[in-house]
Structure 1
């Protein structure tokens, strides 16, 4: 299962875990993902998204329709 936000495209990062003795070990910083359902009123259907907490905040502020338009959801992404 890939840990990528479907709306914003955020991914997990790679960094170092540093001990008190300054030993460095590779680790991953995962993003805060949630599986959410939203209802599109114009199309009268539900959509399921795997999105990060940042995307949920944006949807709460501007609405699902504007958020999908802003992040070009459904368009081909690189």
Structure 2
């Protein structure tokens, strides 16, 4: 299943709408990429399947903080 390991984004269902306003079901997939990140704490590469928004989160907060928040998203840091 396509799930971002940082943000938790998944595919959602919607409609294709034609010019005549006929609707057929379609799936909107998240923009997932397999990317390696260097972990300073562990001293090794970590491979994650992340969305573009997840990459921006890692760049902003750092890998360790992003992984900690992804493990328990409701907690206030």
**Shorter-chain TM-score above 0.5:** yes
Aligned-residue offset at 1:60: 0.7
- Between the two proteins, the alignment pairs up a number of residues equal to 72
- Aligned residue for 2:59? 60
Instruction: State the 1:71 CA deviation.
Output: 1.3
- Stretches of structure 1 that go unaligned for 5 or more consecutive residues are 74-78
The runs of 4+ residues in structure 1 deviating greater than 2 Å are: none
TM-score (norm 2): 0.87
Unaligned 5+ runs, structure 2: 73-77
The residue number in structure 1 matching 2:47 is 48
SS at match of 1:68: helix
Other structure's SS at 1:3 match:
coil
Alignment match, 2:69 = 70
Scaled by the length of structure 1, what TM-score is found?
Answer: 0.86
Q: Aligned equivalents of 2:11 and 2:38: distance in 1?
A: 28
Q: Aligned-pair RMSD on alpha carbons?
A: 1.2
Q: CA deviation at 1:4?
A: 0.9
